[in-house]
Amino acid sequence: MQKITPCLWFDGQAEEAARFYIGVFKDSRITETSYYSDAGKETHGQPAGRVLTVAFELNGQPFTAMNGGPAFKFNEALSLQVPCDSQEEIDYYWDKLGNGGDPAAQMCGWLKDKYGLSWQVFPRAIMDMLMDPDREKAGRAMTAMMGMKKMDLAALRKAYHG
Question: What is the predicted pLDDT for the residue at 60?
Answer: 93
Instruction: Give per-residue pLDDT as tens, 46-79.
Output: 889 999 999 999 999 999 999 999 999 999 999 9
**32 or 44, which is more confident:** 32
86 and 152 fall within a common domain: yes
17 and 86 fall within a common domain: no
The CATH number assigned to the domain holding 18 equals 3.10.180.10
Cβ 106 vs Cβ 149: under 8 Å: yes
Opening angle at CA 152, ends 148 and 158, nearest 5: 100
- pTM for the structure as a whole: 0.93
51 and 109 fall within a common domain: no
63 and 91 fall within a common domain: no
45 and 91 fall within a common domain: no
